[in-house]
Structure 1
Amino acid sequence: MAKLAGIRLPDRPPYRDLALAWLREQAGRSILVQAKDSRDRWGRVSARVRILAASNHLDLGHGLVEAGLALVDPGLEPAFCQPELLALEATARERRLGLWADDGYNPIDVGQVDHLKDRVGSFVLVEGRVRSIGEREQRTYLNFGGLWAEDFTIIIPRKTWKLMADRGLGAEALKNRWIRARGILQSWQGAALSIEVPEMIERLEGNRPPR
């Protein structure tokens, strides 16, 4: 069994059904599979799948994201090797294709505390301004409000924080900046996301809300 690397299918109809229908249309075609040796806890390998018959060797993950039928999700991969997926997703979101026509999938503002609490356990995109940063020995915390027990927080392991700093996304680059983060929302002194790879955080242009 395999999962398409770097993406996540929608979690509810009709978009999940549309994504599965899109994939079924590719059945019976010759493909090229590139997969890792390791398996996840469900016994699946993470793979990229390309249609060889297509003139441009269509990548299934790319096709789904471009059509607005999947979200970019690096998951627990040690490294994210498809940064182009973020650009494809951004275009689909701007054009409101597929799931992006549903406000339930669009980025949640950190100020919508009740909305965040309702989405705990779901994969979400969250946007807001980093108010303060707490660097500890094992983890770094990006805080988005003054009430640490209630407001949204991003938790970054030491290894990931070092990678971010090496790429110019350290404390000076993020404090007071608007960012977008993605992942499984968890309940932790309010709501929080744990970031495993640097690409799960995107720095947005300007110092004001993007919308």
Structure 2
Amino acid sequence: MILLEEALSNPVSFTASDGHAYYLADLMVPEPFGEMGAELLGGGEVYVQALATKSDRWGRKPAILLDRDRRDLSARLVEAGVAIVKPQLRAFNCLKLLIKLERDARKTTSGLWVVKNVIIDYKSIGYAQIGLYGIVEAKLVSVGQTRSRTYLNFGERWTEDLTGIIQRRKLADFSEFGHDLSMIEGRRVRLRGVVQLDDGPQIELKHPAQLELLD
């Protein structure tokens, strides 16, 4: 177990009463909103449930937080606008629900969504965003394919414009999730992930829930 305020104040690495280190799976809690989340959910001790048996290179295990009735607190955190969905481990249906709740929170400007620059247009990406987890909205210009990768191109110049990258081995997951990549050219989409710089900005899509169709 752990105090909720302790877990949310450092969701990328917290130590529970069992002495193990954990990180909050599939969610990102921006620094100013951890305290707000603890207040909204009443604070106090919560259970920590690991989602994997092995620790990562930093000795952490991915985990979710459960209330006293053993109910997952993730949906309540997202619904309140305290957390951003960061797809990683959970089942597709669970992540689809969390993304829907995030979309609803965004529409009602709950919590962090009152901040207008949470979602950015790719043309405004600067060095300050490189290496950080971000959410980007843009119109998809074209889809390219090589033997090993699929490229989602958001401009004509790959050295300057945003590119989404999907490894070939992940394509089946995108199809199972419901994405038809052959039918999304010209549509406005939302990407989420770590913004990297390789000539132009790029986001690698390791999970199909990192891609949303907006129209």
CA RMSD of aligned residues (A): 2.3
Distance 2:65 2:34 in 1: 19
| C-alpha distance 168-50 of structure 1, shift in aligned 2 (>3 A) | closer
Equivalent residue for 1:67?
80
Distance 2:39 2:131 in 1: 26
Instruction: Specify the SS of the correspondent of 1:37.
Output: coil
| Alignment equivalent of 2:43, drawn from 14, 20, 26 | 26
TM-score normalised by length of structure 2? 0.80
Within the alignment, does 1:180 sit opposite 2:190 as a pair? Answer: yes
Distance 2:91 2:55 in 1: 15
> Are 1:4 and 1:61, in contact at CA under 8 Å, matched by a contact in 2?
no
CA distances 1:114-151 after superposition (whole Å, capped 9, x unpaired): x3443111111111111111111111111001111100
Equivalent residue for 2:132?
122
User: Identity across aligned pairs (percent)?
Assistant: 32
Counterpart residue type for residue 59 of structure 1: D
Query: Which sections of structure 1, spanning at least 5 residues, go unmatched?
Result: 206-211
Equivalent residue for 2:28?
8
Query: Which sections of structure 2, spanning at least 5 residues, go unmatched?
Result: 1-20
Within the alignment, does 1:41 sit opposite 2:66 as a pair? Answer: no
Distance 2:100 2:90 in 1: 21
Which has a greater percent of helix? 2
| Alignment equivalent of 1:92, drawn from 105, 128, 142 | 105
Equivalent residue for 1:209?
none
How many pairs are equivalent? 194
Distance 1:78 1:69 in 2: 19
Q: Highest relative contact order (Cα 8 Å, sep 6+), 1 or 2?
A: 1
| Alignment equivalent of 2:68, drawn from 52, 63, 69 | 52
